[in-house]
Chains A and B, each alone.
Chain A
C-alpha cells in the first residue's frame, strides 16, 4: 500500500519534473566571437559546451539547459550590446556568459546589472571592469595579476634591467603599468618600453629597439592569436634568445605554439592554465575534450568556458532550479571547485577569480613543443590596475 503510494507519488513527481523541464528551460545566453579576428574563441567554447553536456547531461535541477549562442564578431561593443539586449529582453535568459574582448564586456555588463542577469566572463583580462557591475563575475584572469607575478619572478631571477613590449590596447596597458610599477619597486630598472599596434604584423622595428637596449629580459604581453608566433619567430631571427622572454601565457598559448615552433623554446610565461598541467581533473578534461574535438588545440579558453558552465550548474542546483538573481550572485561568490587548471574560487568582495598562477617554460617533449610548469603561486587575486 505504502509502496504503491510511493510509486504513484514518484511517478507524479517525475511527470511534473519532465513537464517542467520541457516548460521552463534554463536559458544561458552565450556571447562570444564566432567570426572575425577572435573566431577561435567561439570554436573553443563550442567544444567546451560539448564536453560539459557530455559530462553533466543536458538538464539541471529538472530544467533542460538551453545555450543560446550569439556571435559578437570580434571587438564590436555595439554588436555585443544589441545581442545582449535581445537575449535579456527577447529570450529572457537566466544567465549571460562568454565574453572575450574587454570593450564588448564593458558594453554588456551594465545591461546585465540593470536587468539582474548574472554575467559570467570567460576571457576579458582588463582590471577594474567588475567594479561598477555587481552582476558580473570573472572566471578568466587579468593581465595585471600575471604581470605582478612576472615582476616578482624577474626580481627573484636577479634581472637588473627588463624591457617591456605590449600590444597597445587596454589589457596590454594594464600589463605594462603593473609590471613597471612592481619591478621598479623591487629595485629593478626598466630598460625601455614599446607598444605595438594590434594591426602590426612586422615586428622587426620593435625588436631592433629591444636589441639596442640589450636588457636582461623582455616582458611581453600580446593578444593570443596569430601574432605571438610571428613575433617569436622574428625575435629569434634577429639573433635574440627566446629564453630572454618572460611573458603572459597568451604568447605561448597551446593553439599557436605549434606555429611558433622552435622559436618559442625557452620562453617563460605566467598563466592560469597549462595543457600539460599534471592533475587528474586535467587529464579527465583533456580526454573528454579530445573525444568531442579531436582536431582542436586544447588551451585555456575551453577550460575557462567549462568552468563557467560548471559554476552555473552549481548555483542552479543549489537553488533547486528556482532562481533568484540576488541569491544566485551570493552563491556565485561562494563558488569553489577543482578546475582542470587547478583549484579555483571567487573572491566574494570583488567577484574576481582566485586561482593558482603557474610559471611555465616552453620545452620539447616527445617531439611536441609544450609549456611545462616549473613553479606556481597559489591563491592569486587581481591586484587592480596600476594605471
Chain B
C-alpha cells in the first residue's frame, strides 16, 4: 500500500514536470493554434542557460531559472519575428516542417556550443534529499516542482482567463480580422504571447533538468510527451493541459509499475483511446 502511495506521488510529480514544460505549449499551440514543434527546443535553451549560469558562472539557482525564462523568451521572440509569424496563416504541415527544422538546428547548435555530453545542474541544498512525512518519504525537489506547477497553473489561468491581455488573445485566435478591426494590434499581441509561451518553456526546461537530465537531444526526447499532453488536454485549455499532464504522469508511472513488460506503451494506448473518443481533448471545445 505504502509502495503504491509512493508510486502515485511519483506519477503526480512527473505529471507536474510535464505540465511545467507543456504550459507554454498550451499557449502557442493550444491557444494560438500554431503547430510549434520547437517548444521543447526553447525548453532546452532555458535548461542550458540555467545549467551553464549555475555551473560556470556560479549564479544562484533561482536567478538562473529567471534568466533561463528571459533567454528562452528572447529566443522565442526572435524566432517568432524572423520565421514563425510568416506562417500563422499557413497550413499545419508547413508550420510543422519549419519548426521541426528549428529543432534540428537547435540540436546541432547545442552540440556545437555545449558538447554532446549531458549537463548537470546544481540545485540548492534545501531542495536536495528527502522530506519524511510519517511513513512516506517525499523528495524535496519533486515537492518543489509540484508547488511551482501549482503556482504556474494559477497564474496562467488568471492571465488568460481573467485579464484583458488574455481576452484579446482569445479574441484574436477566434477571429483575427475582427479583432484587428477593433483596433487591437494583433501582430504585437501574438509576438507577446509567443514570448510568454517561450518564457514558460525556458522556466519549465530549467526546472526539469534536475529530474530529466539535459543533453542536445532534449527537444526530440520530450516532444511526443508534450504534444500528447497538450492535445489530450484539449487545445486552448490550460486546465485541460494540467489535467492531461497529471493523467499522463500517473498512468505512465502506475502502468510501468504494474505492467513493466508493456508499461511504455500504456500511455500511448491511453492517448489514442482518449483522442478517439474525444477528438477535442478532455476539456477542449470542438472547433
What A residues does B256 contact at CB under 8 A? 200, 205-206
Q: How far is the CA of A204 from the CA of B213 in the complex (A)?
A: 15
Q: How far is the CA of A201 from the CA of B10 in the complex (A)?
A: 13
Q: Name the one of B142, B211, B254, B261 contacting A230, with C-beta atoms under 8 angstroms.
A: B211
Q: Chain B's nearest CB lies how many Å from the CB of A198? A: 9
What A residues does B116 contact at CB under 8 A? 39-40, 42-43
Q: Is A18 an interface residue (CB 8 A)?
A: no
Check B211–A40 contact: CB distance below 8 A. Answer: no
What A residues does B216 contact at CB under 8 A? 39
What A residues does B145 contact at CB under 8 A? none
Given contacts A202-B252, A204-B7, A226-B118, A39 and B260 within 8 Å (CB-CB): no
Q: Is A229 an interface residue (CB 8 A)?
A: yes
Given contacts A204-B10, A226-B214, A227-B213, A35 and B108 within 8 Å (CB-CB): yes
Check B7–A225 contact: CB distance below 8 A. Answer: no
Nearest-CB residue, chain A, relative to B261: A195
Given contacts A208-B3, A209-B257, A239-B137, A202 and B10 within 8 Å (CB-CB): yes
Given contacts A197-B264, A199-B221, A226-B214, A205 and B118 within 8 Å (CB-CB): no
Check B10–A205 contact: CB distance below 8 A. Answer: yes
0 or 1 for each of A215-259: is its CB under 8 Å from B? (1 = yes): 000000000011101100000011100000000000000011011
Nearest-CB residue, chain B, relative to A262: B128
Check B260–A201 contact: CB distance below 8 A. Answer: no
Secondary structure type dominating chain B contacts: helix
Check B7–A205 contact: CB distance below 8 A. Answer: yes
What B residues does A195 contact at CB under 8 A? 260-261
Given contacts A40-B117, A199-B221, A211-B3, A230 and B213 within 8 Å (CB-CB): yes
Q: How far is the CA of A198 from the CA of B109 in the complex (A)?
A: 24
Q: How far is the CA of A36 from the CA of B116 in the complex (A)?
A: 9
What A residues does B214 contact at CB under 8 A? 226
Please name 16 pairs of A and B residues whose Cβ atoms are closer than 8 Å in the assembled complex, sorted by A. Answer: A37-B217, A40-B115, A43-B117, A195-B260, A201-B221, A205-B252, A205-B257, A206-B257, A208-B3, A209-B257, A211-B6, A226-B213, A227-B213, A229-B120, A239-B130, A258-B120
Give residues in A with beta carbon < 8 Å to B. Answer: 35-37, 39-40, 42-43, 194-197, 199-202, 204-206, 208-209, 211-212, 225-227, 229-230, 237-239, 255-256, 258-259, 261, 295-297
Besides A202-B253, A237-B142, 16 other A-B contacts (C-beta < 8 A): A35-B111, A37-B215, A40-B115, A43-B115, A43-B117, A200-B264, A201-B213, A201-B221, A202-B10, A204-B10, A204-B253, A205-B253, A205-B255, A229-B213, A230-B213, A258-B120
